[in-house]
Amino acid sequence: TWDPNQLTGDIAMALLDRAPSGVAPKPWNTASLNGLGGAPLRAIGYGTTGNNAGSGIKRTVDLTIRQLTNTKILLGDQVSRGVCHGDSGGPSFHTFGDGIERIIGVHSYTTDEMCLDGADSRVDAFQSFIQQWLTEKEAPTCSRDGRCVAGCTPVDLDCVCKVDGQCTAACPDLSLDPDCPADCAAN
């Protein structure tokens, strides 16, 4: 729930009539970001460039995760780059060790007029809200959506890479199986 006094709970979901054509959706991150302070991220938005100039143009900026709180990613280099007015609701991405770029945050606010300091809402902190909404609004698919669909080719990873007390070769990528030790694939 959004609290404008504490600037918390700033995350929402929208249901489109149909999927946009020619757009491949990016996966969202479900793993904890704890320990990723200082890691790179890529922020995208259509906001201004500071002083309310230049809105409506899609821009990308490379930043770092300056600091993490339980629900926020503090970002912006506090010198020359950050997210700005009109970027709210846009995504921040991080490329994880498996080479997959995932949405890790949703732009929430900037703290200054030059847009050098701001924050995203962490999607991992709102995982239960997001998953409940997706379960209610979307049918399960053969892609990683947290729900198992039988008969997929190739097999739905949600069916074989899940919490079931077993680390097995049925999961083709053991780093995705929460039952496998972190060094399982390497060892």
> Between these two residues, 55 and 83, which has the higher pLDDT value?
83
What was the pLDDT predicted at 183?
A: 75
What was the pLDDT predicted at 186?
A: 65
Buried b (16+ CB within 10 A) or exposed e, 47-58: bbebeeeeeeee
* Beta carbons of 102 and 112 less than 8 angstroms apart: no
Is the pLDDT confidence value at 54 over 80? no
What was the pLDDT predicted at 120?
A: 95
What was the pLDDT predicted at 95?
A: 95
Distance CA 134, CA 145 (A): 8
Which of 42, 62, 56, 52 minimizes the C-alpha distance to 84?
A: 52
Give the angle subtended at the CA of 21 by the CAs of 15 and 24, to the nearest 5°: 80
Using pLDDT thresholds of 50, 70 and 90, give the confidence band for residue 105. Answer: very high
Using pLDDT thresholds of 50, 70 and 90, give the confidence band for residue 158. Answer: confident
